[in-house]
Amino acid sequence: MAGALAGRRVVLGVCGGIAAYKAVEVCRRLVAAGAHVTPVMTRGATRFLGEVTLSALASERVQTSLWSEADPIPHTRLGQTADVIVVVPATARVIGSYAAGISSDLLTATLLATRSPVVVCPAMHTEMWEHPATRDNLATLRRRGVHVVEPATGRLAGGDVGAGRLAEAGTIVAAVERVLAPQDLAGVRVLVSAGGTREPIDPVRFVGNRSSGKQGHALAYEAAGRGAQVTLVTTVGLPVPSGAEVVRVETAADMEKAVLDRAGEADVVVMAAAVADFRPKASSAEKLKKVDGVPELVLEPTVDILAELGRRRTPGQTLVGFAAETHDMRARAAEKLRTKGVDLIVGNDVAAADVGFEHDTNRVHVVGRDGFEQDTTLIDKRDVARVVLDAVVSIRQRPTSPP
């Protein structure tokens, strides 16, 4: 399944900071996503990272000079042919030169010679990051449409801890994907649930399931990348897309309240969470002791959130449910579609190898109320998210009809 980066030409600019070594992982991820990556290193960057490393991982060898005999105007060629330029790490010097329009090396000249989108990923010591000159230069770049991936707070060179640490590779690649992705959900309010709920037996034990939340978080990232206003209700601590509203929950009751309280304002609701079907009727306030014998565990059903969403759906709202099954998956997905009042059901056989719970991959059967049907091969969960949201976009582009 082709993503936003497949076949796209990416100029990867690397500046002279200690975080330059992290550009290696960014490069690897970009290439793995199908991008054609051309690395451009400043002279300072070569003091921290060898050219051979990036040349070996990228689609072309590293370029460092404006005065290459093989290409008399390399900055113009790179700037005009790039689909996106991403600078990892972006030092205070390069940010300042770019904002001031000073083309003192191949990278800054390329940045000035492009009309393609630019993503800069600052990394520097806290004092430099917080300096008024740096803040003003970034404000200037933002006004011009440059995308800035904010640095994190964490351990810095020299052992200090503070703001200025380069964002993680996954965050950077996701930002590049968002820039290149089709904005077919721009302005659409998308509510996604993710993860498995935990129903307490006592303060340390619970009834739960093996859901990792990876599929729900992949859906949230994909929706955000396509321009949606995302609300993510999740039980897990996985990374979340920048700008999303995140609601942390634990139990089925928590999930029920969080989702139903927000669903009325959503244009699209995707129930990817694995909500427990049953919970202990009573939970002990103290840890149960083995010496006291085996407790009687009486279960009661939880609220069927998906069915309740179907009953409460608002005009024009698109509802998506998931069916994780261990047998008769296709029949059970079709039955769930018929009885829950939703537009799409995504079925997957969690008994199969490398599929569903806890895995990075999935193989799904997507079936729609309008007769839509699609089966995928074993693919990454982000690719599954693209399949699902492609179907959602298709539904929303058609004339509405009653459920």
Q: What is the tens place of the pLDDT at every residue in 370-399?
A: 899 999 998 888 889 999 999 999 999 986
Question: Mean pLDDT score of the chain, rounded to an integer?
Answer: 92
Enclosing H/E stretch for 79: helix 74-81
- Judged against a pLDDT cut of 90, whether residue 336 lies above it is answered with yes
Q: What is the pLDDT of residues 358-367, one digit of tens each?
A: 788 889 999 9
Residue 51, phi then psi, degrees to nearest 5:
-60, -35
Give the pLDDT mean for 46-64. Answer: 95
Structural domains present in the chain: 9-180 (3.40.50.1950), 189-397 (3.40.50.10300)
- Judged against a pLDDT cut of 50, whether residue 1 lies above it is answered with no
Share of the chain above pLDDT 70, in %: 98
Angstrom distance (rounded) from CA 215 to CA 234: 11
If 0-12 CB within 10 Å is exposed, 13-18 middle and 19+ buried, where does residue 159 land? exposed
- The question of whether 209 is a catalytic residue gets the answer yes
Tell me if 301 sits within 8 A of 278, measured CB to CB. yes
SS3 for 91?
A: coil
User: pLDDT tier at 2 (50, 70, 90 boundaries)?
Assistant: low
Name, in order, each residue with C-beta under 8 angstroms of 143's C-beta and a sequence gap of 6 or more.
none
C-alpha 158: how far from chain center = 31
The pLDDT score that the predictor gives to residue 361 is: 87
Higher pLDDT, 297 or 23: 23
Which runs of consecutive H residues, i.e. helices, occur in 202-304? 214-225, 252-263
Q: What is the residue-wise DSSP string for 282-334?
A: S--SSPPPGGG-PPP--EEEPP-HHHHHHHHPPTT-EEEEEEEESSSHHHHHH
Q: What is the pLDDT of residues 7-32, one digit of tens each?
A: 999 999 999 999 999 999 999 999 99
Name, in order, each residue with C-beta under 8 angstroms of 20's C-beta and a sequence gap of 6 or more.
14, 45, 48, 49, 89
Angstrom distance (rounded) from CA 321 to CA 89: 40
> Which tokens is 331 given?
């029949």
Tell me if 364 sits within 8 A of 376, measured CB to CB. yes
- With the C-alpha atoms ordered 339, 340, 342, 346, is the resulting torsion angle positive or negative? negative
137, 209, 348, 362: the catalytic one is 209
User: pLDDT tier at 401 (50, 70, 90 boundaries)?
Assistant: very low
Question: What is the length of the chain?
Answer: 403
Q: What is the pLDDT of residues 219-276, one digit of tens each?
A: 998 998 889 999 999 999 998 887 899 999 999 999 999 999 999 999 999 999 999 9
pTM: predicted TM-score of the whole model, two decimal places: 0.71
